[in-house]
């Protein structure tokens, strides 16, 4: 069976993110959003589902040296607006969206004389 998968999970501003940066990758594609949902006196929730769907992508890197961390960071110079093409597991095709990246925590495993080794780093990407 032929698929639309082209060998990568994510492109950031047209640049493929290397699979070596993914130790764990997961997504929640096409999340529904509501406008002013409310619950009536009987407990029934009334939803006004909007047509725009939002995807959330979370990935964790393997341990990275400083140089690799910098290479990955350079793909996300502006964490407030990132254009991403990503593999959408719900549609089994690629989709494109604008995402932001909340604060990222960096945990140093070992400082060396010429580099730093980081514990796995988790990035969360949330579509607007």
| DSSP codes, 5-63 | --S-SEEETTEEPPGGG-SEEEEEEEE--BSS-EE-TTS-EE--B-S--EEEEEEE---
pLDDT at 31: 94
Does residue 1 register a pLDDT over 90?
A: no
Give a yes or no: residue 5 inside a domain: no
pTM of the predicted model over 0.85: yes
Q: Supply the range of the domain harboring residue 41.
A: 10-127
pLDDT (tens digit, 9 = 90+) per residue, 3-57?
Answer: 999 999 999 989 999 999 999 999 999 999 999 999 999 999 999 999 999 999 9
Give a yes or no: residue 82 inside a domain: yes
Give a yes or no: residue 1 inside a domain: no
Give a yes or no: residue 115 inside a domain: yes
Give a yes or no: residue 69 inside a domain: yes
């Amino acid at each position: 069976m032929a698929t639309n998968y082209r060998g990568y999970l994510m492109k950031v501003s047209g640049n493929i993110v290397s699979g070596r940066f993914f130790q764990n990758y997961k997504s929640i594609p096409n999340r529904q959003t509501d406008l002013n949902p409310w619950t009536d006196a009987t407990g029934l929730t009334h939803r006004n589902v909007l047509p725009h769907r939002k995807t959330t992508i979370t990935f964790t890197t393997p341990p990275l040296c400083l140089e690799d961390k910098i290479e990955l960071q350079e793909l996300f110079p502006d964490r407030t607006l990132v254009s991403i093409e990503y593999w959408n597991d719900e549609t089994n095709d690629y989709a494109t969206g604008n995402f932001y990246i909340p604060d990222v925590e960096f945990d140093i495993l070992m400082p060396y004389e010429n580099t730093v080794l980081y514990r796995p780093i988790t990035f969360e990407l949330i579509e607007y």
